[in-house]
Structure 1
Amino acid sequence: MSKELKTGIVAIIVIVLFVWGYNFLKGENIFQPNSRQFRVEYSNIAGLSKSSLVTINGLKVGKVDKILFNPDSTKRGDLIVLFSMESDFQFSKNSVVKIYSPSPLGGSNLAIVPSYIGENAISGDVLKGEIESSLFTSIGERLDPIQTKLEHVIVSADSLFKNVNTILDAKTILSVKKSVKTIEYTIADLRKTIQSVNGIMDATSLDLKETVRNTKYLTQNLANVTDTLVSADIGKILRDAELTLATVNSLLEGIDQGKGSLGKFINDDAMYTNLTNVSKELEQLLREVKLNPKRFVHFSLFGKKATPYN
Structure 2
Amino acid sequence: MKISNETKVGALAIVGITLLILGFNFLKGNKLFSKSLVIYGTYENIEGLTASNPVIINGFQVGTVGKIEPDPDMRRIQVTFNINEDIRIPNNSIAVIAPNPLNITKVEIKLGNASDYLKNKDTINTVASEGLLDDVMKKVDPVLYQVNKSLGTLDSLISNVNSVVDQKAKRNISDLLANLNQVTASMVQSAASLQSMLAAETGSIAKTMNNVSSITGNMASNNAKISHVISNLDSATGKLAELDLQKTLNTLEGTIKELQAMTAKMNSGNGSIGLLLNDPSLYRNLASTGNKLNLLLDDIRMNPKRYLSISVFGKKKTAEPLMLPQPDTLNAPYIIVDKKNN
The TM-score by the shorter chain falls in which range?
Answer: 0.3 to 0.5
- With normalisation by structure 2, the TM-score equals 0.37
Larger radius of gyration: 2
Q: TM-score, normalised by structure 1?
A: 0.41
